[in-house]
Amino acid sequence: MQKLKVLVLSPQSRLDEVCSEACRSRINDYFEPLWNETGRDYTQEELLALISDAEVIISSWGSPSLTDEMLEKAVKLRAVGHAAGTVKNLVPKQIFSQGVKVFSAAPRIALSVGEYCLATLLTSLRYLPAFDSAIRDGKWKIAGLKGKELTGNTVGIISASSTARAFIKLLAPFQVKVLIYDPYLTEEAAARLNAKKANLEEVMSCPIISVHAPKLPATERMLTRELLALIPDGAVFINSSRGPVVDELAFMEELQSGRFIAALDVFEKEPLAVDHPIRSLPNVLLSPHIAGATVQGHLALMEEVVEDIIRSLREEKTTYEVNERMWEVMA
Amino acid sequence: MQKLKVLVLSPQSRLDEVCSEACRSRINDYFEPLWNETGRDYTQEELLALISDAEVIISSWGSPSLTDEMLEKAVKLRAVGHAAGTVKNLVPKQIFSQGVKVFSAAPRIALSVGEYCLATLLTSLRYLPAFDSAIRDGKWKIAGLKGKELTGNTVGIISASSTARAFIKLLAPFQVKVLIYDPYLTEEAAARLNAKKANLEEVMSCPIISVHAPKLPATERMLTRELLALIPDGAVFINSSRGPVVDELAFMEELQSGRFIAALDVFEKEPLAVDHPIRSLPNVLLSPHIAGATVQGHLALMEEVVEDIIRSLREEKTTYEVNERMWEVMA
């Protein structure tokens, strides 16, 4: 069988992050690859010159977007696999009517986000940052401060996205009650996640709240001042999705009251302003939008889409395929 | 049926921590309790005066130890339930030959310890304290620093104690490989934990190591300089059991090299000396011996032993009973 010609857009430095040795061998064995040897990402012009021969394109962070002009020349193209997060800006809608299949490794990133959520949740419930910082200040126990258990607790989830699903899977041994707000989720689909559908008010009243909503016009500032006021005292609030989902001003006021703990990986504006008052609050655990970033998670990205493309070529069931309808509702 | 006379040793303030409202009602309904109304723990003399009538004794932290002299007077005593950790110092060995059943809620505490271990493990793997502290210092991302996933990783466990078992249960969704060092564990018992037996060198060479060994003469400084040198660069080392299990001097030298991360809840000497150099190391997550201390865990303690005593009186299967052999090998 003639091997398919694969155009791998990522240069060596990016491949080191998102493509394991095993994946390179797999691409070399199964396809006829053209590796990017320029030491940097291709320009739009370079890609336009290369695309007419490509039967499969593999991209990742930094790869140039495919334009309608490129698609016109991409007469042999059968599949595009994006070894990274959002695929929306990489391919125009036109690609679907051309019969090109699109694959995105975004769901693999969800596992890393799920682990981040459980990490910050357990750590916040136990006040570990406060204990660590008291010891660094020369103290020992903190009078009256006692951690809480996750086991048997109630977790409120906003949006049943892939990151929420990854997080919920990790909650299995804790016998928690899970409430999900998601207007597109049916009761049956919620039950398959061992969760119950709830409205936003109910979810925001849980002792543990985790935000997984995508950034869309409909989700902008969906967590209003009134909803934020429902967060119970002593709660743990986690945001690993997008900062603008929260009304930032009202949220800062709630945080400054110190009445609950928040683990925040995303912010209204990133990077955070150097003088942003959130940087000095004691009741927040801050990270620079790295919930989805892990060594193992990144290294698996190209392998996941490559294997999925191979499954698709063999007409087997795929995991990472994105269709036109999914593309339309994507963030 | 005549209700059994229960002597509850803990005063009100302690009961608020270890005995739920439901548990108080249960004791009032099922037994004829004598509650401690003194507002403090009983003295040895007070307990000696009260013990001859007691058919069941319920104790917790701060309760006076039972002496051989007390046991001579405790002619009606059938069961002692300790709503706390270590029961060894509470009852003398003599109690078993008198046919008194002994119950300890220690295994309930193990669940809180298991949650602590997973909290510190996930948080350390993701470098969350380093990211948080960089943001507090006005920075954003840290060049070259990327977290690791737990999923698919290898976890080395030292001693198959109740805390180790609680931790291993929480690892279920992560599809990790678990290696356990425990001279008393059979291959079959390890397999039931989804783990494999290993020697101490193999466990200390894992990328994740969690110490669960009790403090016994045989475990003192069992983690020697040679074994500590095996800890791989970039590893996460967790100690939630006892400080003296580790050779402190050699351990401090390894930690000061910064080559791995440690989450430490226990130390050679507690509280830690105010000027202990460990207090300022960046690669440690420190807590003041609180791995087993949670609101929910503590509130469940008396209920767990009371229900187990009731099961025992009904000749049903018990969970928390301690026999003479267990007492002998206890820390």
| Size of chain B in residues | 331
> CB–CB of B69/B47 below 8 Å?
no
- Residue A172 CA to residue B14 CA, distance in Å, equals 33
Residue recorded with tokens 């087997």: A316
- Considering only CB atoms, which chain B residues are within 8 Å of A149? 111-112, 115, 294-297
Whether A281 contacts chain B with CB within 8 A: no
User: What's the whole-number average pLDDT of chain A?
Assistant: 96
Same domain assignment for residues B128 and B242: yes
pLDDT computed for residue B54 by the predictor = 98
Given its phi and psi angles, is residue B258 left (phi above 0), alpha (psi -120 to 50 degrees) or beta?
left
CB-closest option in A120, A138, A280 to B128: A120
pLDDT at A331 over 90: no
- Residue B242 CA to residue B330 CA, distance in Å, equals 13
| A148/B294 Cβ within 8 A | yes
How many helices (H) and strands (E) chain A has is answered by 15, 13
> CB–CB of A211/A182 below 8 Å?
no
pLDDT computed for residue B161 by the predictor = 92
Confidence class for position A236, pLDDT limits 50, 70, 90:
very high
Same domain assignment for residues B146 and B209: yes
Same domain assignment for residues B176 and B282: yes
Whether A280 contacts chain B with CB within 8 A: yes
Q: Is residue A61 part of a domain?
A: yes
pLDDT computed for residue A312 by the predictor = 97
| A286/B149 Cβ within 8 A | no
Of B178, B214, B212, which is closest to residue B198 (Cα–Cα)? B178
Contacts of B48 (CB under 8 A, 6+ apart): B67, B69, B70, B73
Sheet strands side by side (includes B154-158): B195-197, B177-181, B154-158, B208-211, B236-239, B261-264, B284-286
Nearest CA in chain B to A143: B288
Contacts of A125 (CB under 8 A, 6+ apart): A147, A148, A149, A150, A153, A208, A236, B115, B119
pLDDT computed for residue A216 by the predictor = 86
Helix H, strand E, coil C: the string for chain B is: CCCCEEEEEEEHHHHHHHCCHHHHHHHHHHCEEEEECCCCCCCHHHHHHHHHHCCEEEECCCCCCCCHHHHHHCCCCCEEEECCCCCCCCCCCHHHHCCCEEEECHHHHHHHHHHHHHHHHHHHHCCHHHHHHHHHCCCCCCCCCCECCCCCCEEEEECCCHHHHHHHHHCHHHCCEEEEECCCCCHHHHHHCCEEECCHHHHHCCCEEEECCCCCHHHCCCECHHHHCCCCCCCEEEECCCHHHECHHHHHHHHHCCCCEEEECCCCCCCCCCCCHHHHCCCEEECCCCCCCEHHHHHHHHHHHHHHHHHHHCCCCCCCEECHHHHHHCC
Whether B148 contacts chain A with CB within 8 A: yes
| A294/B146 Cβ within 8 A | yes
**What tens digit of pLDDT does each residue of A191-208 get?**
999 999 999 999 999 999
pLDDT computed for residue A95 by the predictor = 96
Provide the residue range defining the domain that includes A97: 5-105+300-329
Same domain assignment for residues B134 and B93: no
Residue recorded with tokens 């929420």: A164
Strands (E), A124-228: 154-158, 177-181, 195-197, 208-211
Provide mean pLDDT across the span A119-133: 98
- Averages of pLDDT over runs of 10 residues in chain B (331 residues) are 94 96 97 98 97 97 96 97 92 95 95 98 98 98 97 98 96 98 96 97 98 92 98 98 97 98 98 97 98 97 97 96 89 70
Given its phi and psi angles, is residue A23 left (phi above 0), alpha (psi -120 to 50 degrees) or beta?
alpha
Run of H or E including A301: helix A301-313
Whether A314 contacts chain B with CB within 8 A: no
- Residue A151 CA to residue A171 CA, distance in Å, equals 9
Per-residue b/e over A245-258, b at no fewer than 16 CB within 10 Å? bbbbebbbebbeee
pLDDT computed for residue A86 by the predictor = 84
Same domain assignment for residues B159 and B268: yes
Whether A276 contacts chain B with CB within 8 A: no
- Considering only CB atoms, which chain B residues are within 8 Å of A138? 274, 279
Whether A138 contacts chain B with CB within 8 A: yes
Mutate to test the interface with A, among B121, B135, B139 (most CBs of A within 10 A): B135
Whether A290 contacts chain B with CB within 8 A: yes
Q: Name the pairing type of β-strands B101-104 and B321-322.
A: antiparallel
CB-closest option in B122, B270, B296 to A149: B296
CB-closest option in B115, B147, B287 to A151: B115
- Residue B87 CA to residue B70 CA, distance in Å, equals 16
Nearest CA in chain B to A17: B146
- Residue A308 CA to residue A108 CA, distance in Å, equals 12
- Residue B209 CA to residue B203 CA, distance in Å, equals 7
pLDDT computed for residue A330 by the predictor = 78
- Considering only CB atoms, which chain B residues are within 8 Å of A136? 279-280, 286
How far is B92 from chain A, CA to nearest CA, in Å?
Answer: 31
> CB–CB of A175/A152 below 8 Å?
yes
Long-range contacts of B273-279 (CB under 8 A, 24+ apart): B274/A138, B277/B252, B278/B252, B279/A135, B279/A136, B279/A138
How many residue contacts between A and B have a Cβ separation below 8 Å? 161
pLDDT at A329 over 80: no
| A152/B296 Cβ within 8 A | yes
Residue A242 exposed, middle or buried by CB count within 10 Å (0-12, 13-18, 19+):
buried
pLDDT computed for residue A73 by the predictor = 97
Q: Where are the alpha helices (DSSP H) in A126-161?
A: 128-136
Q: Is residue A291 part of a domain?
A: no
Same domain assignment for residues B211 and B312: no
> CB–CB of B147/A293 below 8 Å?
yes
Same domain assignment for residues B46 and B77: yes
Same domain assignment for residues A148 and A236: yes
Q: Is residue A51 part of a domain?
A: yes
> CB–CB of B173/A321 below 8 Å?
no
- Residues of A numbered 229-268 whose beta carbons fall under 8 angstroms of chain B's beta carbons: which are they? none
pLDDT computed for residue B329 by the predictor = 77
CB-closest option in B123, B135, B290 to A123: B123
Same domain assignment for residues B120 and B207: yes
Whether A298 contacts chain B with CB within 8 A: yes
- Residue A49 CA to residue A13 CA, distance in Å, equals 22
Strand partners, A147: B294
Same domain assignment for residues A23 and A117: no
Strand partners, A56: A6, A79
- Residues of A numbered 4-63 whose beta carbons fall under 8 angstroms of chain B's beta carbons: which are they? none
Whether B273 contacts chain A with CB within 8 A: no
Q: Is residue A295 part of a domain?
A: no
> CB–CB of B86/B330 below 8 Å?
yes
Of A124, A210, A221, A206, which is closest to residue A167 (Cα–Cα)? A210
Whether B287 contacts chain A with CB within 8 A: yes
**What tens digit of pLDDT does each residue of A98-122 get?**
999 999 999 999 999 999 999 999 9
Q: Is residue A294 part of a domain?
A: no
Given its phi and psi angles, is residue A230 left (phi above 0), alpha (psi -120 to 50 degrees) or beta?
alpha
pLDDT computed for residue B214 by the predictor = 87
- Amino acid type, B59: S
Whether B317 contacts chain A with CB within 8 A: no
| Size of chain A in residues | 331
Widest CA span in chain A: 72
> CB–CB of B95/B102 below 8 Å?
yes
Run of H or E including A82: strand A79-82
The ipTM of this complex is 0.95
Whether A112 contacts chain B with CB within 8 A: yes
Q: What's the CATH code of the domain at A47?
A: 3.40.50.720
**What tens digit of pLDDT does each residue of A281-324 get?**
999 999 999 999 999 999 999 999 999 999 999 999 999 999 99
Structure tokens at A77: 């193209």
- Residues of A numbered 113-132 whose beta carbons fall under 8 angstroms of chain B's beta carbons: which are they? 115-116, 118-120, 122-123, 125-126, 128-129, 131-132
Contacts of A2 (CB under 8 A, 6+ apart): none
- Considering only CB atoms, which chain A residues are within 8 Å of B296? 148-149, 151-152
Run of H or E including A202: helix A200-204
Same domain assignment for residues B96 and B129: no
Same domain assignment for residues B261 and B147: yes
Structure tokens at B97: 């030959």
Whether B194 contacts chain A with CB within 8 A: no
- In chain A, how many domains are there? 2
